[in-house]
Amino acid sequence: MFIFSGTLPDYKLMWTKLASFILRQRIAILIVLALLTVFMGYMGRGVAIQYALPQLLPDSDSTLIAYKEFRQQYGKEPTVIVLGIPENPLNSVELYNAWYQLGNDFKAIEGVDTVVSVCNLFELKKDVEAQRFNLSFVHKGPVKDEAELKVVRDKIFSLPFYSELLFNDSTGASLMALSLDDSKFNSKTRMILVDALMAVTDEFGEKYAIETHLSGLPFVRSIVSSMVERELKLFIFLALAVTILILFFFFRDYRPVVIALIVVGMAVIWSLGTMGILGYEITILTSIIPPLLIVIGVPNCVYLINKYHSEYLKHKNKAKALTRVVVLVGRATFMTNATTAAGFGTFIFTQSILLVEFGWVAAINILLLFVFSLCLIPIFFSFIPDPKEKNIQHLELAWMKRIMESVTFIVERRRPLVYLVTIVLMLAAGYGMSKIVSTGNLVDDLPEDHYVLSDLAFFEEHFTGVMPFEITVDALKPKMIMKSSTMKRLEKTQDLVASYDEFTRPMSIVEGVKFIKQGFYGGDPEKYSLINSREKAFFKPYVDNFSGDQSILAPYIDSTRQRARITLQMADVGTKQMSAILEDLKPRIDSILPPEKYHVQYTGTSVVYLMGANYLVRNLFISLLLAILIVGIIMALLFSSARMIFISIFINVLPLMITAAMMGYFGIPIKPSTILVFSIAFGISVDDTIHYLAKYRQELRHQDDNIGKAVHFTLSETGVSMFYTSVILFFGFSVFDSSQFGGTKALGILVSLTLFVAMVANLILLPSLLLSLEKALLSKSFREPLLEIYDEEEDIDHDELEIRKGEPGSFKSYNPNS
């Protein structure tokens, strides 16, 4: 597609043959595209919503490697949803019995494996004759009266093992933990299970007039996945609605609207089919690709339809007009689609699976979008009657002429003011950019008033948090973990971690051993401590004979007794705070567990995700620089002038600076969802620059290097299409403002803002610079580029093309004298 200027006849002939092929084989092309679209629809029907947390880190990252090793050693983190209430069932007979019944109601739901609450706790009983421990429920079933409840309450309060895990002594809040069947939860029936849990919870809350809160990482993931699925449908509907309204406003004819909808509709189907073929799931990012293709695809259609109408207006020959659409605008459209695809394609180099998948699907389908529009628009217009005067009135709209006249006046007469405003904006942008902060939370994209956040705040207030955090300790030698010296170090480490407000009370083999010792001494709470060296001989037969110790110790230690884990939950702190906590915690733990004797790692879902957010922010800046580099290379091929390359890059970087400044001024943080704005907007906004400069170079030839006339005529022709497409893109991206996710909402607002500023920059600042710099830009390399996308003055004659009489829509070349 990139054609060398030295072979213009060959490349023009190639595009002409392509146009002829499209129009002559239009029935075959329609059939092939229809069959392929059915196939892609079939492949896309089974694309599932991603339920698991997205992988943000590359496979080679040490944090992810440590997490995979942890899961291999101790198995997957249990799928647990927690229910919290602000009252303690141990203080009320009615509430205790209701809490007990609620647990049974949960157990009756298919997919719920176990339920743990204050109503079904166990203790250890010592069997002296058999020299073993037996597990025994503290109390089984409902309580009869206050006296029986007091016995249960006193017994539970005497077991420090449960303190701060299922109830909060100071606030009175209590929770119930529901362990779910992974095979049921990680499937399409997930929301059926979650809805059942929510229904039982709501019924309990209404019946007993008590506030209820559901949370836990699996629950949050379920709600987010459900929202992503709903928003995918909403965005497609809104994008189509906005597209229809704007297209009809511009064209005042239903036929261009229908044709454009068919083009973008195919792109949506193919995007889902691409995900199905590649084995990708629908994530919070890939869910925006279908509506994104609608927004990006419509400007393609506008350029092609406008060119068809303008060509037909000149010579009233539909065949010639349609052929020239392919030959002339096809080249420019390909280049603009290529730059847009390059902007998205840079995500492929981040090595983050989440962004790599987004980059591949977006880039592939943007290029396919070019194919659909180039083929379908000429074909469909070949079947419908010739345009009438009312169908092409949009080319001569009075209000559009006034806008272009105003732009021309500013460019020609008010350039000093343009430069002054630009300098002020750059200074303001520099200050605003210095105020940007970076953050990343597991739920920071949810709206502030969402119930998931309020429920999460309840657990952070009463139980510190529900986000998994793990510390693994490798003693480097088998059986070293059970040594008294190591156990004391682990206990000291637990106490240190517990002193941080962001962490819950830790659980490890230390707590299991203490629980066993308390059971050995008849449940005496004063004996809840580590076994000392003198006591080991007494405990050995009991521990060896107690099969139940596997349920207490096994989750926290490996079979060789060389490695152990300290497991806890934490608040949903941001990446900045997490980094500060780890930076402070690591040296303090190293002083307890010297690195030369113990290998300590910090992992868990919260660590992996938050470190992944940091990774994305760093690498997405690299992807933006890569996008600028790629676009710079394309500009070099198109314009072969260092000055033009610098101007075109500056024109499109300036809107990014202003957008970044707005983020700083309005407190919108840099995070994985908002950093996408820059690469997406840059890849799209540079399209107008390409169209303008390519047309400007052509006008220079027509006007004998008269820069003023070239700028004027370029604005009058290309400016209209630039305005149309910018308006479509502005309102198209605005549909994302309706999202419930803060990141997606910010994406819509910020991209719309960036594209609006880019339109103004391309319509006013770019021609102003061309006029001011004048001869400095008129280099031979600019006049004779390596690649050419506009070349109308040397166009091949298509006057002999006509539609056969009696065979509507059939094209042929003929000799008028025959």
Give the span between the Cα atoms of 267 and 289, in whole angstroms: 10
Residue pLDDT, tens place only, 239-277: 888 888 888 877 778 888 899 889 999 999 999 999 999
Q: What is the DSSP letter of 524?
A: -
What the block records as the tokens of 68 is 């995979």
| Helix 353-383 vs helix 605-639: crossing angle, to nearest 10 | 50
pLDDT of residue 776: 60
Q: What's the predicted TM-score (pTM) here? A: 0.75
Q: What is the pLDDT of residues 9-51, one digit of tens each?
A: 455 677 788 888 998 999 999 999 999 999 999 999 878 877 6
The 10s digit of each residue's pLDDT in 692-739 is 877 777 777 777 767 778 787 778 777 777 887 788 888 888 888 888
* Residue found by looking up tokens 């190639």 in the block: 14
CA 323 to chain CA mean position, Å: 40
Q: Is the pLDDT of residue 211 over 90?
A: yes
**Token code pair at residue 165:** 């895990």
- How large is the average pLDDT for residues 166-183? 87
pLDDT in tens, 89-121: 999 999 999 999 999 999 999 889 999 999 989
Ramachandran region, residue 706 (left: φ > 0; alpha: ψ -120 to 50; beta: rest): beta
Q: What confidence score (pLDDT) does residue 775 get?
A: 61
Task: Write the pLDDT tens digit of every residue in 613-628.
Answer: 778 777 777 777 887 8
Burial of residue 174 (CB within 10 Å: 0-12, 13-18, 19+) is buried
Type and span of the H or E element at 802? strand 801-803
Instruction: Quote the mean pLDDT of the chain.
Output: 82
For residue 100, how many other CB atoms are within 10 A of its CB? 21
Most confident region among 121-130, 227-236, 333-342, 585-594 by mean pLDDT: 585-594
Cβ neighbours for 741, distance < 8 A, ≥ 6 positions apart: 227, 231, 284, 445, 446, 447, 673
Is the pLDDT at 780 greater than 60? The verdict is no
The helix (run of H) or strand (run of E) holding residue 177 is strand 174-180
Nearest to 353 by CA among 57, 64, 558: 57
Both tokens of residue 510?
Answer: 């230390």
Mean per-residue pLDDT, 802-815: 43
User: Which pLDDT score is estimated for 218?
Assistant: 84
Q: Are 598 and 493 in contact (CB under 8 A)?
A: no
pLDDT at residue 8 tops 50: no
* Beta strand 132-137 pairing with 599-603: unpaired
Q: Is 523 left (phi over 0), alpha (psi -120 to 50) or beta?
A: left
Predicted local distance difference test score (pLDDT) of residue 689 = 82
**What is the average per-residue pLDDT within 306-310?**
82
Query: Rounded to an integer, what is the distance from CA 741 to the centroid of its chain?
Result: 10
Dihedral sign computed on CA atoms, order 770, 773, 774, 778: negative
Percent of the chain with pLDDT over 90: 24
Q: Of 34-38, 45-49, 180-184, 756-760, which one has max mean pLDDT?
A: 34-38
What is the SS3 assignment for 215-247? ECHHHHHHHHHHHHHHHHHHHHHHHHHHHHHHH
Is residue 714 left, alpha or beta, with left meaning phi > 0 and alpha meaning psi from -120 to 50? alpha
Between 57 and 425, residue with greater pLDDT: 425
Do the beta carbons of residue 786 and residue 4 sit within 8 Å?
Answer: yes
